[in-house]
Amino acid sequence: MADQDEQKTQTAEISGTVQLKQDGGASEKKPVPEPEETVEKKTKKRHIAIVVVLLVVAAAGWYIWRSSFTEDTDDAQVDGNLYQVSSRVAGQVLNVDVDENQTVLKGQPIAEIDPRDLQVALTQAEADLASAQADYVQATTNVPITSVNVRTTLSTSGSDVLGQQAAVLQAQANVSAAEARVEEAKANSIKAQLDVERYTPLVAKDVISKQQFDAAVATAAATKAALAEAERSVGANQVKVEEAHAQAAFAAVQQAQAKVDQAKLNVGYTKILAPIDGIVSKKNVSAGENLSVGQDLLTIVPLDDLWVTANFKETQLKQMQQGQKVELKVDALGGRKFEGKLTQIGGATGSRLSLFPPENATGNYVKVVQRIPVRIDFTNLAEENKDHALRPGMSVTPDVTVKQ
């Protein structure tokens, strides 16, 4: 039976081949049609590819649309005020109390300068003050009681010693002039009195008229009054001289007091304290070193007084305004996020503020998109930076929300 079935199969294949030759004249066999499962798989793959493409297009469109709500830049850094600590007095360093990269608190000792030279200067200034005060007391005791009001005014006057000395010289000149007027008035008074004595017997004998005698008597009386006035003027000018001496002495006291105050300040400046909380950097002072006034000792980098300076392209500033929210990502902290707000937009581009700003009027001009510095303040730095991980100079990526 198997042999018969096999013969039937071969006979059918031969007859089928002959039939093909008769119909088409071709010697090739017809292709076997694909199963339905294979066709369905290809259709599904085509549908999936179409869906994926649509999703990618939709995601790209959404991203482009959503990106118009924010502006960002990778040209941004944490910024802060760096405090340069310098010496306010000259002297030798006794000791340095801090090390490089040490955290310090405001008011903490940093270094100390030998105060002995300055204490000697303070002692000298205090001695000069005591001498000036003694001179002032002596000068005021020579002023008559009638000059009390002048001394009261003196206590509220200025302390220019040169001006007071000039007043003394002027008062002395006034005294000399007044004394000269006294001598002149005295001579006139003597002459007038002698005239009256000569005219008295003459008028009795009617040698001269009564009118001439009366004129001589009146002249004598006038010259006597002038003499008295001149003498009073001398006294008044002498009082002014004493008052001027007192004023000059008081000014000298104030000047000496100012020197004492300055000497005390200088002694206080020998202890150098931290002006703010921060980290010590660029330390270049050591014990035994001789310092000059204004010499830099170290830099203190603040830990809390920080902000972000972001340099946005000028084409990004169209919708930026003060007060807009900003999300800040710090690269050094693994993209750690902080909250902020836009505070200020710079007054000029970075190129214009550079040491050598460009001169566009010379050479071949090529338009370049400029960048403008924008200040961004942290809104919750105390809570978000409890570990004081932020440092000035760290790179930041700010996202400014320009649309709600």
Q: Does the CA dihedral 293-298-299-303 come out positive or negative? A: negative
Q: Are residues 129 and 251 in the same domain?
A: yes
Angle at 288 between CA 283 and CA 291, to 5 degrees: 65
Angle between helices 116-141 and 210-268 (to 10 degrees): 160
| Structural domain span for residue 181 | 116-268
Q: Are residues 23 and 122 in the same domain?
A: no
Q: Are residues 261 and 122 in the same domain?
A: yes
| 161 inside domain | yes
| 212 inside domain | yes
Angle between helices 161-204 and 210-268 (to 10 degrees): 170
Residue 20's pLDDT is 44
Q: Are residues 137 and 9 in the same domain?
A: no
| 5 inside domain | yes
Q: Are residues 133 and 256 in the same domain?
A: yes
CATH of the domain at 139: 1.10.287.470
Which of 210, 237, 268 is where one domain is finished?
268
Which of 218, 233, 268 is where one domain is finished?
268
Residue 154's pLDDT is 37
| 70 inside domain | no
Pick the closest to residue 332 from 387, 277, 373, 280 (CA basis).
Answer: 387
Written as tens digits, the pLDDT of the chain (404 aa) is 444 454 444 444 544 444 444 444 444 555 555 566 676 777 777 778 888 888 888 888 777 666 668 888 999 999 999 999 999 999 999 999 999 999 999 999 999 999 999 999 999 989 888 888 887 777 776 555 444 443 444 344 444 444 445 555 555 555 555 555 656 556 565 665 665 566 566 555 555 555 565 565 556 566 665 655 655 555 555 556 666 677 777 888 888 899 999 999 999 999 999 999 999 999 999 999 999 999 999 999 998 889 999 999 999 998 899 999 999 999 999 999 999 999 999 989 988 888 888 877 777 788 889 999 999 999 999 899 999 899 999 999 999 998 87
| 146 inside domain | yes
CA atoms of 48 and 215, how far apart (whole Å): 143
Pick the closest to residue 118 from 267, 261, 272, 257 (CA basis).
Answer: 267
| 276 inside domain | no
Residue 355's pLDDT is 83
| 218 inside domain | yes
**How many domains is the chain partitioned into structurally?**
2
CA atoms of 170 and 7, how far apart (whole Å): 158
| 86 inside domain | no
Residues 377 and 340: beta-carbon distance below 8 Å: yes
Which of 224, 248, 268 is where one domain is finished?
268
Residue 57's pLDDT is 86
